[in-house]
Amino acid sequence: MKLHEYQSKQIFNKYGIPIPKGRVAATAQEARQIAEELGGRVVIKSQVLVGGRGKAGGIRLAKSAEEAENLATQILSMEIKGLPVRKVLVDEAASIASEIYLGITNDRAARRPVMMASAAGGVDIEEVAAKNPEKIIKVHIDPLLGLRDYQARDIAASIDLPREHWRIFGQIARGLWDAYVACDATLAEINPLVITADRRIVALDGKMVLDDNALFRHPDLAEMRDLDVEAPSEIEARKYGLSFIKLDGNIGCMVNGAGLAMTTMDIIKLFGGEPANFLDIGGGASADKVAAALRIILSDPNVKAVLFNVFGGITRGDEVARGILAALAEVKTNVPMVIRLVGTNAEEGRRILADAKMITAETLADAARKAVAVAQAA
């Protein structure tokens, strides 16, 4: 789950990282009010969960409260990379002497977090990473020991940070690490961390990505989720506790178990088809969960066939069958459905489904072949 800039910066601030004064606004009038409080010279920043807002015109400097209101009106009517701008952050404007990049993420290959820093921070950091990777320095952090003071000093030296800033830089690097650990983040990034004309260091931009699997430990953070960035089907799926990811193919998949779902997708591809989604209905799924899953799959207009692959262990075949019938009573559809149902109560399940006009299959290969065939015929 991605956090907005204003949310990330509030968290950073709690961990001792200096941020500009400012507040978030949902209307241009509010933006004007905040600008007045801050003395007029402000930066108006679109709050959307994509990178490159600056280059897309979503970050603008205002010299007065009136200009702030006008720019906020413009920015609040923008769409950036397909996402509507619903809020702007109004921050006191900084005069920038230099821009630093500082971030932490997990380095899977090294099996530990890595802190990255560069003196060439700012909006072109991706280009720097591609063309001059030597300008980005990386320091791995032992997850048990945490970031050590000497590591922060090493980083400061490597990016040629003037000595006068080392102490505060150490505090910022440590704060970023502490925030990263405390929030179960997979990314915590400041770009740019600026040195201002009056020689202060401030985090001008902030970005955090949190591990969805750890959100249950952070109800306060989970509440910050912005639903705009997710496909509506994925939001609906989460409500029912389904693991669902929308894909671009035309064969909807309804499967119990993540491994079986991956296998089903592989086999569909093996027979020349393309899956429309990944879906794990989970172990012991009840009829209403199955019905929700089928509704979600059928809400995708690309879906030309649905393949049910249910291996009944904890999940009972009759429950699945009843869920399918309940969903079909609700959603009228002509989409052909192929079902492979084995395991606990499979016979009873098949009997329940006998008059649902579903195509049955014995093996997974048989089911995939049939699903690909009916999808192609549609």
Binding-site ranges for Mn ion (CB under 5 A): 191, 205
CA 234, 240, 244, 247 torsion-angle sign:
negative
Give yes or no for residue 319 binding ligand GDP (CB under 6 A).
no
To Mn ion, the closest distance from the beta carbon of 188 in angstroms equals: 13
Polymer length in residues for the chain: 378
Taking phi first (over 0 means left), then psi (-120 to 50 degrees means alpha), and beta for anything else, what does residue 122 get? left
Q: At what angle do helices 364-377 and 258-270 cross, to 10 degrees?
A: 60
Window contacting ligand GDP (CB under 6 A); options: 43-51, 160-168, 289-297, 301-309:
43-51
Binds ligand GDP (CB under 6 A): choice among 11, 71, 88, 93: 93
To Mn ion, the closest distance from the beta carbon of 194 in angstroms equals: 11
Closest CB to ligand GDP among residues 99, 280: 99
Closest residue to ligand GDP in the complex (CB):
54
Give yes or no for residue 53 binding ligand GDP (CB under 6 A).
yes
240 carries an active-site annotation: no
96-125 positions binding ligand GDP, by CB under 6 A:
96, 99, 122-123
What tokens does 343 get? 């395991």
Binding mask 129-158 for ligand GDP (x = CB under 6 A): ------------------------------
Give yes or no for residue 43 binding ligand GDP (CB under 6 A).
yes
Binds ligand GDP (CB under 6 A): choice among 16, 51, 153, 181: 51
| CA–CA gap between residue 71 and residue 48 (Å, rounded) | 16
Token look-up 């995708």 returns 300
Closest CB to ligand GDP among residues 94, 292: 94
Q: Could you give the C-alpha distances from 1 to 187, 201, 230, 325, 347, in angstroms and in order?
A: 10, 28, 10, 34, 41
| Residue 223 dihedral angles phi and psi, to the nearest 5° | -65, -20
Instruction: Please say whether the beta carbons of 109 and 88 come within 8 A.
Output: no
Query: Which candidate, 122, 208, 147, 201, places its Cα nearest to that of 169?
Result: 201
189 carries an active-site annotation: yes
| CA–CA gap between residue 2 and residue 353 (Å, rounded) | 42
Is residue 301 reached through a cis peptide bond, with omega within 30 degrees of 0 on the bond before it? no
Q: What is the CA radius of gyration of the chain?
A: 26
Closest CB to Mn ion among residues 126, 228: 126
Give yes or no for residue 320 binding ligand GDP (CB under 6 A).
no
To Mn ion, the closest distance from the beta carbon of 241 in angstroms equals: 35
Binds ligand GDP (CB under 6 A): choice among 69, 178, 189, 205: 205
Give yes or no for residue 52 binding ligand GDP (CB under 6 A).
yes
Closest residue to Mn ion in the complex (CB):
205
To ligand GDP, the closest distance from the beta carbon of 88 in angstroms equals: 12
Q: Which of 67, 189, 240, 319 is catalytic?
A: 189
Instruction: Please say whether the beta carbons of 263 and 271 come within 8 A.
Output: no
Partner touching 43 among ligand GDP, Mn ion, none, CB below 5 to 8 Å by kind? ligand GDP
Give yes or no for residue 190 binding ligand GDP (CB under 6 A).
no
| CA–CA gap between residue 64 and residue 370 (Å, rounded) | 66
Q: Which of 101, 180, 240, 319 is catalytic?
A: 101
Q: Which residues of 194-205 are buried (b: 16+ CB within 10 A; e: fewer)?
A: bbeeeeebbbbb
What tokens does 332 get? 């009228």
Residues recognised as catalytic: 101, 189
Binding site for ligand GDP (CB under 6 A): 43, 45, 51-54, 59, 61, 93-94, 96, 99, 122-123, 191-192, 204-205
